[in-house]
C-alpha cells in the first residue's frame, strides 16, 4: 500500500479549478516533492489530503485512510505531522504554551531533540515571532509526536540558509528511519537536494511525476558575467556552446547585426542547460570581473520545458497540458528552448 494515493482528486472553486483530476501516489519512505508555481494548486491538494477541504470529485487515501471519511481520517492523523503554509497560533501565547498544548493533544516523543535543532524562542509571545521563527516552531510541532508521514507546505519558506541546511539534514535522517515526507515547494534547489521523486502541478493539472534526477537534467542555471575586456559574441552564442538559451549581452542585436566590429561585450546573461565542463572551458581566460551562476527560476523551467512555442512567445505557460503523459510529450515534441540551442 502506498502512503498517499490520489485518484482523480478535483477541487472546483467555481472561478478556478484548483485541482483537476489529480492522480499520483507516494511510496513509503520516500521524500516526495510537490512542485509548481504560485497558485498552481499545491496547498489545495495538501488541504484535501488532511480533510481540511472536501474534494468536488475523486478521492485520496492517506496511510490507507479515506480522506472523505472524517472519522477514518481522524484515526490516521495521529501518525501524520502537518506543517501548514502559514501556521496560525494564538498570538498571545508563548511558544512554550503552544508546544505544551500540542503535546497534550498529540503527544510528545521528541520535542527536546527538535528544540535543540530548530531552536524557536519559546519564551516569547507568538505575536513577536518572525516568519522564520513561526516556521521553526511549526517544524517542532510537526515532528514532536514522531509521525510516520509528514506533509509540509513550503517547509523552508522564511528560514535562513543555515536553518534550511539543518532542516534538509534532518529530513534525510528521518527518511532513513522510514518516515515518508510529502512537501510542496516552488524552490527547485530545495527539491533537488532532498527529493526522491517529484510531481509538478500547473494550473490545477498534474504535468508530470518523475524521479528528481530526470527533472534536474532539464533545470538549467542562470549565468551572469562581467569581464574586464570585451568578449567576442560567439564565445557564448548558442551555435557555438550547446545549452545556451536567452543570451542577453551589453550590446543589442541590431548593433551586432549592423556592425561586425561591435560583436563583443563585457556583460552578459544566459540560461545554461548544457555540459558544465564545456561552460567552464569557455570561461577560462576571459578576465572575469564578476560571475554568478544561479538556479533557474522554476517559472522559466516551466516555460521552457512544459510550455509550447506560442507560450514562450506570449510569455505564459501552455493551456493544453492535460496530464503527465502530455507533459512529457511537450518536452520532446513542441517545447523548443527559446534560445534555439540544444538542451543536452
Ligand X SMILES: Nc1ncnc2c1ncn2[C@@H]1O[C@H](COP(=O)(O)OP(=O)(O)OP(=O)(O)O)[C@@H](O)[C@H]1O
Site for ligand X in 17-36 (CB under 6 A): 18, 36
> Which one, 87 or 341, has the nearer CB to ligand X?
87
Grid cell in block for residue 146: 514522531
Residues 85-124 vs ligand X: string with x where CB under 6 A?
Answer: x---------------------------------------
> Which one, 59 or 338, has the nearer CB to ligand X?
59
Q: How far apart are CA 275 and CA 247, in angstroms?
A: 16
In eight-state DSSP terms, residue 144 is T
- Is residue 39 at the binding interface for ligand X, with CB under 6 A as the rule? yes
Q: How far apart are CA 108 and CA 4, in angstroms?
A: 24
Q: In terms of DSSP bridges, do strands 197-202 and 65-66 run parallel, antiparallel, or are they unpaired?
A: unpaired
> Which one, 5 or 153, has the nearer CB to ligand X?
153
Q: Which residues of 137-154 are buried (b: 16+ CB within 10 A; e: fewer)?
A: bbbbbbbbbbbbbbbbbb
Helices (H), the chain: 42-49, 70-77, 95-106, 111-118, 131-143, 161-176, 188-194, 212-216, 253-258, 276-283, 298-306, 309-314, 324-333
Q: How far apart are CA 200 and CA 303, in angstroms?
A: 13
Q: Single out the residue of 61, 65, 102, 186 in contact with ligand X (rule: CB under 6 A).
A: 186
> Which one, 185 or 227, has the nearer CB to ligand X?
185
Q: How far apart are CA 9 and CA 58, in angstroms?
A: 4
- Is residue 43 at the binding interface for ligand X, with CB under 6 A as the rule? yes
Binding residue count for ligand X, defined by CB under 6 A: 13
- State the nearest-atom distance from the C-beta of 188 to ligand X, in Å: 13
- State the nearest-atom distance from the C-beta of 207 to ligand X, in Å: 13
- Is residue 13 at the binding interface for ligand X, with CB under 6 A as the rule? yes
Output Rg (C-alpha) for the chain, integer angstroms: 23
Grid cell in block for residue 310: 506560442
- Is residue 44 at the binding interface for ligand X, with CB under 6 A as the rule? yes
- Is residue 77 at the binding interface for ligand X, with CB under 6 A as the rule? no
Cα–Cα distance list, 246 to 4, 236, 253 (Å): 39, 11, 12
> Which one, 139 or 199, has the nearer CB to ligand X?
199
Q: Single out the residue of 3, 26, 31, 40 in contact with ligand X (rule: CB under 6 A).
A: 40
Cα–Cα distance list, 153 to 181, 196, 253, 315 (Å): 11, 17, 43, 28
Stretch touching ligand X by CB under 6 A, among 13-21, 207-215, 312-320, 330-338 = 13-21
- State the nearest-atom distance from the C-beta of 96 to ligand X, in Å: 29
> Which one, 44 or 271, has the nearer CB to ligand X?
44
Site for ligand X in 216-235 (CB under 6 A): none
> Which one, 86 or 239, has the nearer CB to ligand X?
86
Q: Are 327 and 321 in contact (CB under 8 A)?
A: yes
Q: Which residues bind ligand X (CB under 6 A)?
A: 13, 16, 18, 36, 38-44, 85, 186
Amino acid at each position: 500500500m502506498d502512503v498517499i494515493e490520489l485518484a482523480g482528486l478535483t477541487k472546483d472553486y467555481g472561478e478556478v479549478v484548483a485541482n483537476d483530476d489529480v492522480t499520483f501516489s507516494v511510496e513509503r519512505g520516500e521524500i516526495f516533492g510537490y512542485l509548481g508555481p504560485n497558485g498552481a494548486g499545491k496547498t489545495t491538494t495538501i488541504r484535501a489530503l488532511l480533510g481540511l477541504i472536501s474534494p468536488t470529485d475523486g478521492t485520496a487515501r492517506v496511510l490507507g485512510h479515506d480522506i472523505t471519511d472524517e472519522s477514518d481520517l481522524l484515526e490516521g492523523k495521529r501518525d501524520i505531522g502537518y506543517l501548514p503554509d502559514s501556521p496560525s497560533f494564538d498570538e498571545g501565547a508563548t511558544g512554550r504554551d503552544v508546544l505544551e498544548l500540542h503535546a497534550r493533544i498529540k503527544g510528545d516523543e521528541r520535542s527536546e531533540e527538535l528544540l535543540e535543532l530548530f531552536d524557536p524562542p519559546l519564551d516569547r509571545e507568538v505575536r513577536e515571532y518572525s516568519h522564520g521563527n513561526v516556521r521553526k516552531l511549526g517544524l517542532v510541532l510537526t515532528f514532536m509526536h514522531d509521525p510516520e508521514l509528514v506533509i509540509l507546505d513550503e517547509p523552508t519558506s522564511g528560514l535562513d540558509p543555515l536553518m534550511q541546511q539543518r532542516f534538509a539534514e534532518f529530513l534525510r535522517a528521518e527518511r532513513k528511519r522510514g518516515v515518508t515526507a510529502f512537501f510542496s515547494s516552488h524552490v527547485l534547489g530545495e527539491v533537488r537536494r532532498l527529493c526522491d521523486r517529484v510531481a509538478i502541478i500547473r494550473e490545477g493539472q498534474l504535468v508530470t511525476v518523475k524521479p528528481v534526477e530526470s527533472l534536474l537534467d532539464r533545470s538549467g542555471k542562470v549565468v551572469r558575467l562581467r569581464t574586464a575586456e570585451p568578449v567576442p559574441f560567439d564565445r557564448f552564442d548558442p551555435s557555438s556552446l550547446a545549452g545556451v538559451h536567452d543570451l542577453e549581452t551589453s550590446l543589442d542585436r541590431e548593433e551586432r547585426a549592423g556592425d561586425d566590429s561591435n560583436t563583443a561585450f563585457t556583460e552578459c546573461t544566459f540560461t545554461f542547460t548544457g555540459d558544465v565542463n564545456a561552460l567552464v572551458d569557455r570561461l577560462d581566460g576571459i578576465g572575469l570581473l564578476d560571475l554568478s551562476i544561479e538556479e533557474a527560476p522554476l517559472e522559466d523551467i516551466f516555460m521552457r520545458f512544459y510550455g509550447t512555442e506560442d507560450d514562450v512567445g506570449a510569455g505564459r505557460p501552455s493551456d493544453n497540458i492535460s496530464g503527465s503523459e502530455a507533459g512529457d510529450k511537450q518536452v520532446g515534441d513542441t517545447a523548443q528552448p527559446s534560445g534555439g540551442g540544444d538542451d543536452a
